[in-house]
Amino acid sequence: MFLLPVHLDHRDLTGHCDPDLQNCRSLLNIVRGCLTTIAACVWVSVHPNLPAPNQGRIRGMFTRVKVMLIAIAMPEAVIVFPVRQFFAARAFSKTYHVSMTHGFFFTMGGFIDAERRSLLTSEDLERPGVLKSIREVREEDIRDKSKADALAKAFAILQASWFIMQCVARVLQRLPLTQIEIATLAFALLNIVMWLFWWHKPLGVNEGIIVEERTDITGLRKYEPIRPSYATSSLDWFNRFIDEMVGALGGDYEEHQRARSVPAFWSGEGAIEVPLLGETDLPTVAVVTEAISALIFGASHCTAWNTHFPTAVEMWLWRVCSIIVGLGPGTMAVSLFVDLLSDGKRYERLTTVLFYTPVMLYPIARPVLIILMLTTLRSLPSEVLFDVDWTGFIPHIA
């Protein structure tokens, strides 16, 4: 339903609604509803990993806010991490016969040694007594460490549900949506998916659970945390940039040998040496998931294709940037599959263009869409300020 375009002639209008004649809503109410929905969704859906042991509360809060801002800026890219972490946690759960909560707690670095270092590798799990200690940890004890507030979750669910219901009602009554509402709707839907993948992951854990006292972590050198197939040497500068924001997205984990905790979005993939998806490899699933998420995210922005824009320049900027955001990760995925299925040289030029073009254009397109969401509010058609007539959905006798 959210993909239905809302048509409106292009006119240079300043919205006005007469409260004596129609149910009206103000521009402030529109913006406040969108910002509240975004804040509520991202606060509950983003589940960072265990922070460093020497990280204070203020620094920990700063880290969480930074992760939230990344999730707001690139929700369709961030969703790849809960997907990876979900399958890694499920593999841990099935392999070692523990709960999904235990699996997520391991992937987020929650089990630590006496030196307060996170147990990160398959070699760590093979140490005498480690698995037994992990199995002895009750699921209730792990959940007790979670700072997930039931009231906050309930508020987020109600806010997102109410916002989505309002958008659907406006489409049914042929009332236009603003660009910021369309973007917020897309954001809310992706965050619901993210939340589902992280459903069993503890939220806001500040301290790990000690399961074994040990002094050596030599197995760390053999571990690569996320290892996407596109993490090549020619992208070192890009990988370092992403690594700084969301933690070890690409490259070798040797850079983090001395780390006492895991990066904010470390998935735990690689520590569990079992087939996660049968014949399907996890990086492929992650790339496909990101491509589909980006397509949905971009397509939802394209529903504003024929809505009112203050200028033709803003209209075309929105259209072009929506296409880039929607198709960019997909073309990157195609380049990866072509590279894997071919000998790597036959289509080298094609795969290079398909991969690097979105890499260069996405960092421009996404901020432009965010800016346009705000600038287009200066000129709104009157119909945007008409509120939903909820009595129209209630059966009654006239």
Rounded CA gap, 368 and 98, in Å? 46
The tokens for 102 are: 């235990």
Q: What is the DSSP letter of 209?
A: E
Rounded CA gap, 243 and 70, in Å? 12
Looking at every residue in the chain, the average pLDDT score rounds to 75
Phi, psi dihedral angles at 216 (to 5 degrees): -125, 140
Q: Of the candidates 105, 102, 83, which has an alpha carbon nearest to the alpha carbon of residue 94? A: 102
Q: What is the DSSP letter of 23?
A: -
Quick: pLDDT tens for 295-312: 888 888 999 998 899 999
pLDDT class of 140 with cuts at 50, 70, 90: confident
Position with higher pLDDT, 110 vs 398? 110
Q: Which residues contact 48 (CB under 8 A, 6 or more apart)?
A: 63, 64, 67, 108, 264, 265
Rounded CA gap, 328 and 321, in Å? 10
Q: What is the DSSP letter of 305?
A: T
Q: What is the DSSP letter of 212?
A: E
Quick: pLDDT tens for 41-89: 888 888 888 777 666 677 777 777 888 888 888 887 788 788 888 888 8
Is it the case that residue 228 has pLDDT exceeding 60?
A: no
User: Does residue 272 contact residue 91 with C-beta atoms inside 8 Å?
Assistant: yes
Q: Of the candidates 357, 366, 397, which has an alpha carbon nearest to the alpha carbon of residue 183? A: 366
Rounded CA gap, 97 and 111, in Å? 16
For residues 163-179, average pLDDT: 92
Question: Does this model's pTM top 0.75?
Answer: no
Is it the case that residue 6 has pLDDT exceeding 50?
A: no
The tokens for 2 are: 């959210």
Per-domain residue ranges of the chain: 27-249+278-389
Count of Cβ atoms closer than 10 Å to residue 100 Cβ:
17
The per-residue pLDDT for 232 is 34
For residues 6-32, average pLDDT: 66
User: Three-class SS string for 238-255?
Assistant: HHHHHHHHHCCCCCCHHH
Count of Cβ atoms closer than 10 Å to residue 296 Cβ:
17
